[in-house]
Copies of this chain bind each other. A is one copy, B any other.
């Protein structure tokens, strides 16, 4: 399934690039491969490292120039969870309406989907006279493990 969706991502992206008149380059291929070869979230810098593992010639500038294109294609989503750096989420193809819960203690990000949330956001938007285009919910929370022991298993390592 992960493979199947990666196929479709590649195809959709290829069409998108062609349609927009963008050229197909080895660097962009590597970045796309890296960007959708995982279900993890990543920063621009992390994507650079991942892309370079595939094609050493990928530069930081190209990653930064390619990211907005991927976001525009709708296959990659830019997240603004409290941190200082933007985070990118490749999982919106499979779960188009998911949201995020961030553990305040270990910074772990948990994705969740909820149809009621979806419904409620639409209702609220319409009530205010708007048509929703992009809905973002982020919940910062303490996990039960933290409440019990005072720390999370997953200690603050990657972030903070």
Contacts and interface: CB of A to CB of B under 8 A. Distances in A.
B124 A133 contact: no
Contact of A141 (B114, B131, B142, B147): B131
Interface residues of A, number: 32
A9 interface: no
Contacts of A54: none
Nearest to A122: B139
Q: How many copies does the complex hold?
A: 2
Interface string A139-158: 11111100100000000000
A128 to B, nearest CB: 6
B133 A140 contact: yes
A112 B124 contact: yes
A133 B137 contact: no
A134 interface: yes
Contacts of A120: 114, 116-117, 120
A66 interface: no
